[in-house]
Structure 1
């Protein structure tokens, strides 16, 4: 039916939105936790099996977080009969953009970004000064980049239920299906 890429900066709420979508019965996978992305050496292309945590100074200049096209291609086949969400971000996103029916970019202001990265418990990325600097560098650029690529941009500093509702509204516009705000056991939109 549709494959939706939910992306944004570190701390924008991708994993949280994915969890809320799963709680409503949708197929929502995390590109980080569900094996769609990995660290690679930009120079050699080699996969980094055991990345340092936190990353040392200069590490992010050489290594990048990349999504694996073959994994997304499998998900495309699996999502032909239902709406599925893949939540994450990757520097090589352009390599898989054609596989998604819709891209939703979650954006937040700098204060919210700083707060979320400092207080989140799901992972430590963004607490180290180098990681925080990278997140702060990209944050103001994301909205214009994604708008120019035709993405739906959503202010993710709003309450979670509103953000999830806006994501589902964007999918409804794409598919022409009516969304049911209650938990939908089969994870599909109901025709209205």
Structure 2
């Protein structure tokens, strides 16, 4: 048992599956309430602007501080807990988890989900294309680092069952 990083590209269902795991009584932390944007050179924390383009994303990274993951691991203790989300500093935090699960969906499902989240990150225009391009490589990247891929196209309860099985076996 331990701390599990539930990750994957935007729109694969991390928050939804996390909600189901929370309903089942697990400690669940959403990266969106923990991570922050930082300038890549200066390290200064910034707010994400309403208008952003490729140049902005090249200069800033969404980061989950290492000390935050360590604090969460202490809170979870000998139980099972989940950190749901995705950040740009995975390489700094990956080893702090007992298991990493990457939710996976096909490109058509992802596009439908993202477009259906009107106004949310990745729901239209350049951001949608950016997320779809990222999605094309995220499964291979995450599996290469040891993540267990879980098909997230099925019903939420079934996806949560698969994630839960992995979590209780680590």
Q: Does TM-score exceed 0.5, indicating one fold?
A: yes
Q: Which residue of 1 aligns with 2:58?
A: 61
Moved over 6 A (4+): none
Q: Which residue of 2 aligns with 1:43?
A: 41
Q: Which residue of 1 aligns with 2:27?
A: 27
Number of aligned pairs?
A: 170
Counterpart CA distance in 2 for 1:160 and 1:172 is: 18
Q: Which residue of 2 aligns with 1:162?
A: 158
Q: Which residue of 2 aligns with 1:74?
A: 71
Pairing 1:6-21 to 2, within 5 Å after superposition: 6-21=6-21
The C-alpha deviation readout for 1:100-134, integer Å capped at 9, x for no partner, is 0000000111111111111126x610024222122
Q: TM-score, normalised by structure 2?
A: 0.93
The equivalent position to 1:139 in structure 2, one of 113, 135, 151, is 135
Superposition RMSD in Å: 1.5
Pick the structure with greater CA Rg: 1
| Structure 2 unmatched runs, 5+ | none
Q: TM-score, normalised by structure 1?
A: 0.83
| Structure 1 unmatched runs, 5+ | 175-192
- Secondary structure of the structure 1 residue equivalent to 2:45: coil
